[in-house]
Amino acid sequence: MNSFLVIRSIHITCVALSLGGFVTRGILRAFNSRLLQTRFVRVIPHVIDTLLLVSGVRLAMLIGFAANANWLLTKLGALLVYVVLGSVALKHGSSRLICVASWLGAIVIFAFIVSVARTHLPLGFFARN
């Protein structure tokens, strides 16, 4: 297997782990679970998200950033929105309603990012065929 496919596999594995971790932490937060304070739950998501970003940047270098700038920049912009919504959902939301709404919004943005990655189109699943 060439290095592109290896890094792409790592990237996609991190995508799945990152989403699974985010969904789980949102549920734990909604039920005020003490599991959220454990070292494992606090540290592992940062490790996975760092690996997700590093593998994404490496993939972008391998396929050429300039030639793919339109959908890659959309992905990065949507990633920023995801990070903001995620931090409201898991940390800064002042009520359960705000936390749950931000959590759901973050999951929709995450799905949009995946659709942009799969189609290489800036509009992702909003693009007309």
Residues in contact with ligand HEM by CB under 6 A are: 8, 11-12, 15, 52-53, 56-57, 59-60, 63, 72, 75-76, 79, 82, 110, 113-114, 117-118
Pick between residue 59 and residue 123 the one whose CB is nearest to ligand HEM.
59
Nearer to ligand HEM, 103 or 110 (CB): 110
Return the sign of the alpha-carbon dihedral for residues 24, 17, 43, 83: negative
For ligand HEM, the closer CB: 21 or 33: 21
Q: Which is nearer to ligand HEM, 25 or 75 (CB)?
A: 75
Q: What share of the chain is helix, strand, coil (3-state, %, to 5)?
A: 85, 0, 15
| Residue 67 DSSP one-character state | G
| Torsion (CA) 26, 32, 35, 40 in degrees, nearest 10 | 40
Residue 53 CA to residue 15 CA, distance in Å, equals: 10
We find the least distance from the C-beta atom of residue 32 to ligand HEM, in angstroms, to be 26
